Amino acid sequence: MRVVVTGAAGFIGSHVVDALCSAGHEVLAVDAPGRSLAPEVAWRTWAAVAARPGVTVLEADLAVADLAPLTRADTVAHLAGRPSVRGSWGAGRAAAERDNVLATHRLLAECARRPARRRPKVVVASSSSVYGSAGDRPNREGDPLHPASPYAVSKVEVERLAVDAARNGLRTVLLRYFSVYGPRQRPDMAFHRFTEAALDGRPLPVFGDGRRSRSFTHVADVVTATLRAVAEELPSGIAVNVGHPEPVGVHEAIGLLAGVLGVRPEIRREAPVAGDAARTWADPARAHRLLGWTPAVDLAEGLADQIAWHRALRRPETSRPETSRPDAREREVRVG
């Protein structure tokens, strides 16, 4: 299968590229690392992706580039975008609109221009944040949407575009990811910040009172669901929750993290983030029914995996994982 992965220099996208390559698929990896929330990290990951045998890379800003080369595929896994609820306030709002809404609109329109039989299926990354805060039961895909930040609003708009495209004959699938964690997690995300702080001997920076809870979902499980959505025939325009069914409180998660690290955590409270859901809670029944997907990694095991990655980053360069090596920005970029 020929698969295009956008956001390939990102946290989730780079893992999806790895898994597709390992499964023997032909991959065109697309990104504009300069558009990342953490460009220096994205450039390093991009270099590692480009060095992977079997991967062709295309540096392209989806908001402005010619996207025709992205449409010559069986499936496009569209993971590029501007994540983060916190980062979407103020100046971040325009970036969320540009890199989420405009980029998705351009990509879907370009795919729809292909002759009907050659149109790729497009698997689009959405987010649990479209639901707002969960109530006293897990969120199902048919629940009303209550976006509470510019980021969440942009993802609702992304979903609307994908559903419209499906009505007009493009096959689309929306994956609503829930708080993804694991190796290569973005530096702005909670477990990354907590782990780095603990390893430095600093207090852990916690936004608000720490009473929030999340359906934390390990990236390996997210990759499994994404690859199945890439390969399976699914009802077009459908949304699918990709989230662990058991939410865990932030304090409980910190306890697990501290246990793995062998530290007594000191906490530094920071102002709560506007639009941050008090609770996210996934009902993954649809993912189970359509994709045969059930998350396999529990939080204690998944945190140990992420912490091992942070520790490896601190080892001398030669023994570090690939994605932390100095970037090879000058590396030849092959255009597919």
Answer whether 138's CB lies under 8 Å from 90's CB. no
174 binds ligand NAD (CB under 6 A): no
**Closest chain position to ligand NAD (CB):** 10
When binding is defined by CB under 6 A, the residue of 12, 77, 111, 161 that contacts ligand NAD is 12
226, containing H or E segment: helix 219-231
* Residue with smaller CB distance to ligand NAD, 4 or 32: 32
307 binds ligand NAD (CB under 6 A): no
Which residues does 311 contact at the CB level (< 8 Å), separation at least 6? Answer: 199
Min separation Cβ 262 and ligand NAD, Å: 26
**Which tokens is 126 given?**
């959405």
Give the residue from 277, 70, 79, 285 showing the smallest Cα distance to 174. 79
When binding is defined by CB under 6 A, the residue of 33, 92, 247, 302 that contacts ligand NAD is 33
When binding is defined by CB under 6 A, the residue of 71, 139, 172, 179 that contacts ligand NAD is 179
Answer whether 181's CB lies under 8 Å from 281's CB. no
User: How many residues contact ligand NAD, by CB under 6 A?
Assistant: 29
Min separation Cβ 86 and ligand NAD, Å: 12
* Segment interacting with ligand NAD (CB under 6 A) among 9-17, 114-122, 294-302, 321-329: 9-17
Query: 3-class DSSP state for residue 324?
Result: helix
* Segment interacting with ligand NAD (CB under 6 A) among 60-68, 232-240, 296-304, 309-317: 60-68
CA distance 35 to 61: 8
172 binds ligand NAD (CB under 6 A): no
* Segment interacting with ligand NAD (CB under 6 A) among 4-12, 194-202, 295-303, 304-312: 4-12
When binding is defined by CB under 6 A, the residue of 186, 193, 218, 310 that contacts ligand NAD is 186
When binding is defined by CB under 6 A, the residue of 80, 198, 204, 297 that contacts ligand NAD is 80
Give the phi and the psi of residue 43 in degrees, each rounded to 5. Answer: -65, -40
Dihedral over Cα of 182, 185, 187, 188: its sign: negative
Establish whether 177 is a catalytic residue. no
Side chain identity, residue 314 = R
Site pattern 105..134 for ligand NAD (x: CB under 6 A): --------------------x-x-------
* Sole residue written with tokens 């370009």: 110
248 binds ligand NAD (CB under 6 A): no
Answer whether 150's CB lies under 8 Å from 88's CB. yes
Burial group, residue 140, by CB count within 10 angstroms (0-12, 13-18, 19+): middle
List the beta bridge partners of residue 108.
Answer: none
CA distance 135 to 145: 12
* Residue with smaller CB distance to ligand NAD, 79 or 282: 79
**CA angle, corner 78, sides to 120 and 250, nearest 5?**
145
Min separation Cβ 316 and ligand NAD, Å: 26
* Segment interacting with ligand NAD (CB under 6 A) among 173-181, 262-270, 303-311, 325-333: 173-181
152 binds ligand NAD (CB under 6 A): no
Interhelix angle for 190-200 vs 250-261, to 10°?
A: 40
* Sole residue written with tokens 């998705």: 104
* Segment interacting with ligand NAD (CB under 6 A) among 27-35, 140-148, 263-271, 289-297: 27-35
Residues known to be catalytic: 151
> For binding to ligand NAD (CB under 6 A), which residues are involved?
7, 9-13, 31-33, 35-37, 42, 61-63, 79-83, 99, 103, 125, 127, 177, 179-180, 186
